[in-house]
């Protein structure tokens, strides 16, 4: 009887850990998808603003830098090199 209860407890613990891990992975995937959508939305908004309204080049460059910094902050990869202004311009050309 005690052995059966112990097996049930172990099985319940394994199911609990598995379900929490699955929930974490689903949440992580949804977070990555929303980050990609936000980056695309901001870039399209910036492009359309530049095309429709006459924004001077200095303002466009400032907004472009803000977009690149936002993009870098949202990047989750750990194997990326140290970011300098030169690397940012080379890696993130529009």
Using the Cα atoms of residue 59, residue 65, residue 68 and residue 73 in order, give the sign of their dihedral. negative
Structure tokens at 44: 């399209």
User: How many other CB atoms sit within 10 Å of the CB of residue 69?
Assistant: 13
CB 84, CB 94: distance < 8 Å: no
One pLDDT digit (tens) per residue for the chain, 94 residues: 667 788 889 999 999 998 888 888 888 888 878 877 777 777 777 777 666 556 567 777 777 777 766 666 555 444 455 555 555 565 565 5
């Amino acid at each position: 009887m005690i052995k059966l209860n112990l097996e049930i407890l172990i099985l319940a613990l394994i199911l609990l850990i598995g379900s929490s891990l699955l929930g974490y992975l689903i949440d992580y995937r949804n977070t990555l998808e929303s980050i990609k959508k936000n980056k695309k939305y901001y870039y399209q908004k910036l492009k359309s603003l530049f095309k429709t309204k006459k924004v001077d080049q200095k303002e466009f460059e400032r907004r472009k830098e803000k977009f690149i910094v936002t993009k870098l902050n949202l990047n989750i990869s750990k194997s990326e090199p140290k970011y300098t202004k030169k690397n940012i311009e080379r890696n993130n050309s529009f």
